[in-house]
């Protein structure tokens, strides 16, 4: 099997991993997994990638109005909710184009509340990136204190755009951040949507079976995944834990396959893909974050090759 690995000479900031031959007479030769970080706007860069190329896309776009990444053209800082949904839908239209016909999208997104007419938010002690110099106005039709339902609004927009919406998965976070609210439960989950380009698609069910309750056998994976959040020490923004990414990559791509993350951040998807012997392309707008990802991937080069 010859992997598609496009020539990204212009904005590439990490060298590909060296090729090694892992094949035998029986098995096709699979090139050593490699990862590339492309710095820039995901919509612009995706448009330069060839169609029908990636097995799976695993990604966590910025949440609406939750974090200020402090960079022009960032997604998530739109004043209007519909602009945020439209911008993400446009990015994911390009993702759909570059996915193979049997490809899948694993999309992690959390919800938020209307601002209640506050115009800014202070950072919290643990996470200065939660500070906002602005708060978007309450979207039309909603009231102060309303839960917005961002994940489902996005899921429906993607479904309307042609994606197959195959599953909503609850990422339950046992160690979620406490909230100072007294009139509702503390939010301890986010959504992970499985969307596909076609009705029939690659899904390695066996790779992601889970133990039965008595632990004696295995069963089809369920839709609630209990996974602790894990900070990544170099990144002071929302990273997702490798344990959340592992089943997405295992179910969505074969070994030697090619994975995409158009909102790469600190490169969690890249690092996890390499550990699972998949290649990865990551796109990240913020040069500082792209550098963190490149450093993180470089640090894992030798253990990945030698293990
Ligand atoms: C929630 S973070 C992703 C974190 C990542 N999953 C990780 O584990 O590190 C979203 C990322 O999207 C990036 N981003 C925002 N707008 C973007 C755009 N237009 N193109 C590419 N990346 C963008 C942000 O800079 C941020 O790093």
Backbone angles phi, psi at 100, to 5 degrees: -60, 160
Residue 300: the pLDDT is: 65
For the chain, give every domain's residue range.
49-263
User: Strand 210-211 to strand 218-219: parallel, antiparallel, or no bridges (unpaired)?
Assistant: antiparallel
pLDDT in tens, 183-197: 999 999 999 999 999
List strands edge to edge, sheet with 189-196.
Answer: 35-39, 279-284, 258-261, 54-59, 99-109, 189-196, 164-172, 224-226
| C-alpha distances in Å from residue 125, one per residue of 130, 187, 192 | 9, 18, 27
Nearest CA to ligand 1 atom 15: 74
pLDDT in tens, 77-97: 899 999 999 999 999 999 999
Q: At which residue do the structure tokens 């309450």 appear?
A: 138
What angle (nearest 5°) sits at the alpha carbon of residue 273, between those of residues 307 and 262?
155
Burial of residue 223 (CB within 10 Å: 0-12, 13-18, 19+) is: exposed
Answer yes or no: is the C-beta of 290 below 6 A from any ligand 1 atom: no
Contact 277, 303 (CB under 8 A): no
| C-alpha distances in Å from residue 286, one per residue of 2, 79, 100, 158, 266 | 32, 20, 27, 25, 10
Weakest mean pLDDT among 49-53, 118-122, 138-142, 146-150: 118-122
Q: Any idea what DSSP says for residue 113?
A: B
For residue 299, what is the enclosing H or E element?
helix 287-299
Confidence of residue 127 (pLDDT cuts 50, 70, 90): low
The ligand 1 atom at the shortest distance from the C-alpha of residue 63 is 1
Q: The CATH number of 49-263 is which of 3.90.1300.10, 3.40.50.150, 3.60.15.10, 3.30.1330.10?
A: 3.40.50.150
Residue 233: the pLDDT is: 78
Nearest CA to ligand 1 atom 25: 286
Answer yes or no: is the C-beta of 263 below 6 A from any ligand 1 atom: yes
The residues with which 35 forms a beta bridge, in sequence order, are 280
pLDDT in tens, 28-48: 334 578 899 999 999 999 999
For residue 91, what is the enclosing H or E element?
helix 81-98
Backbone angles phi, psi at 37, to 5 degrees: -105, 125
- Percent of the chain at pLDDT > 70 equals 80
Token digits for 158?
Answer: 């993607």
Weakest mean pLDDT among 60-64, 72-76, 112-116: 112-116
Nearest Cα to 153, choosing from 123, 193, 187?
Answer: 193
pTM: 0.87
Nearest CA to ligand 1 atom 7: 239
Residue 10: the pLDDT is: 39
Residue 208: the pLDDT is: 98
For residue 45, what is the enclosing H or E element?
helix 42-46
Following DSSP, what letter does each residue of 50-87 receive, concatenated? Answer: PSS-EEEEEE-PPPTTT-----TT-TT--SSHHHHHHH
Question: How many CB atoms sit inside 10 A of residue 142's CB?
Answer: 15
Answer yes or no: is the C-beta of 265 below 6 A from any ligand 1 atom: yes
Q: At which residue do the structure tokens 């950072």 appear?
A: 123
- On the question of pLDDT at 116 being above 90, the answer is no
Question: How many CB atoms sit inside 10 A of residue 291's CB?
Answer: 16
Answer yes or no: is the C-beta of 94 below 6 A from any ligand 1 atom: no
- As a residue count, the chain comes to 307
Burial of residue 279 (CB within 10 Å: 0-12, 13-18, 19+) is: buried
Residue 2: the pLDDT is: 34
How far apart are the C-alpha atoms of 61 and 81, rounded to whole Å? 14
- On the question of pLDDT at 21 being above 70, the answer is no
- On the question of pLDDT at 17 being above 50, the answer is no
Residue 117 alpha carbon to ligand 1 centre in Å: 27
- On the question of pLDDT at 305 being above 70, the answer is no
Residue 29: the pLDDT is: 39
């Amino acid at each position: 099997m010859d992997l598609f690995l496009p020539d990204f000479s212009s904005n590439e900031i990490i060298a590909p991993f060296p090729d090694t031959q892992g094949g035998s007479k029986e098995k096709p030769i699979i090139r050593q997994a490699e990862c590339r970080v492309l710095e820039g706007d995901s919509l612009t860069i995706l448009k330069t990638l060839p169609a029908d190329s990636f097995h799976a896309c695993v990604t966590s776009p910025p949440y609406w109005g939750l974090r200020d990444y402090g960079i022009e053209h960032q997604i998530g800082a739109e004043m209007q909710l519909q602009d945020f949904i439209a911008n993400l839908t446009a990015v994911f239209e390009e993702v759909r184009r570059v996915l193979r016909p049997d490809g899948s999208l694993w999309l992690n997104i959390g919800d938020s509340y209307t601002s209640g007419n506050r115009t800014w938010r202070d950072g919290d002690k643990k996470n200065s990136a939660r500070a906002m110099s602005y708060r978007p106005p309450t979207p039309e039709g909603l009231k102060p204190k309303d839960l917005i339902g961002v994940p489902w609004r996005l899921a429906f927009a993607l479904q309307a755009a042609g994606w197959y919406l195959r599953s909503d998965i609850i990422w339950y976070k046992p160690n979620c951040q406490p909230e100072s609210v007294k009139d509702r439960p503390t939010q301890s989950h986010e959504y992970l949507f499985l969307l596909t380009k076609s009705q029939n698609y690659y899904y390695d069910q066996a790779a992601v079976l889970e133990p039965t309750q008595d632990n004696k056998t295995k069963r089809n994976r369920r839709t609630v995944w209990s996974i602790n959040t894990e900070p990544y020490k170099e990144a002071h923004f929302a990273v997702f834990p490798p344990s959340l990414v592992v089943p997405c990559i295992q179910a969505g791509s074969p070994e030697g396959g090619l994975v995409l993350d158009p909102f790469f951040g600190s490169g969690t998807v890249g690092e996890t893909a390499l550990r699972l012997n998949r290649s990865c392309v990551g796109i990240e707008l913020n040069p500082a974050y792209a550098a963190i990802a490149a450093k993180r991937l470089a640090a894992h080069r030798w253990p990945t090759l030698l293990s």
